[in-house]
Structure 1
């Protein structure tokens, strides 16, 4: 499904407000996804489809996957992560290490974050259990 930035932000805000309803893995029940879809309906502007609970669950899974890739990167020793500049790769040595990192299995999803942050990171980080 096609999502507008406003819909994604509203979804994250909704799930953030209802974070107590998630499981240990950070997933929500279908009732929460359905309620989030209902909360998104007023934002529908004929772009894409009206969101269903199933679409909300799928979008949340994709957002979680991005979050988990960033968390995996951040957990490494000696790396930088900033919400404004992402991995902040500067210079030839850092670029070479970055290229090596991206060649590792499961790491290519970090490619957009070489020098760009992810505006949803902080809010999603607050949703997940510590």
Structure 2
């Protein structure tokens, strides 16, 4: 299976930001974009399986999921998000963090570790909507 390095992930994210005008509803890209991403990443392959169009699309899905986790962390009052130190949990905020992680286990890696792709993914992931659109 594919193993993603930091440079490969960055290259994919940079490419998708450049292609954002080609994204359709919901921030979904057409197959052609994924084929181009795969071709762009092919020379970078060091380990694991090739980064096919499907693998690139799956990576983007994973990144979008992480983006949504971080977006929720950023909404919590009393915490300070930092792209380098994450939720920046201190002794004073540890209790509220522990409570939060019990309900949101996917947040756990971001206790004191940031995520460098947030601002770029913000350009790719549609804003949250509430209510029903008819």
- Output the TM-score relative to the length of structure 1: 0.89
Q: Unaligned 5+ residue runs, structure 2?
A: 128-134
Aligned equivalent of 2:118: 121
| Residues 75-94 of structure 1: pairs in structure 2 closer than 5 A | 75-91=75-91, 93-94=92-93
Q: CA deviation at 1:65?
A: 0.2
Q: Give the Cα–Cα distance (whole angstroms) in 2 for the partners of residues 67 and 58 of structure 1.
A: 14
Any idea what the Cα deviations from partners look like across 1:13-57, whole Å, max 9, x if unmatched?
110110111233222122111111111111122x01111100001
Q: Give the Cα–Cα distance (whole angstroms) in 1 for the partners of residues 24 and 75 of structure 2.
A: 23
Secondary structure in 1 aligned to 2:27?
coil
Aligned equivalent of 2:99: 100
| Residues 11-90 of structure 1: pairs in structure 2 closer than 5 A | 11-45=12-46, 47-90=47-90
Whether the 8 Å CA contact 2:79–2:93 is kept in 1: the answer is no
Q: CA deviation at 1:81?
A: 0.9
CA-atom RMSD in angstroms: 1.4
Any idea what the Cα deviations from partners look like across 1:40-80, whole Å, max 9, x if unmatched?
111122x0111110000100000000001111221233332
- Output the TM-score relative to the length of structure 2: 0.86
Q: Give the Cα–Cα distance (whole angstroms) in 2 for the partners of residues 115 and 77 of structure 1.
A: 16
Whether the 8 Å CA contact 2:27–2:125 is kept in 1: the answer is yes
Aligned equivalent of 1:112: 109
Q: Which runs of 4+ in 1 moved over 2 A?
A: 75-79, 126-130
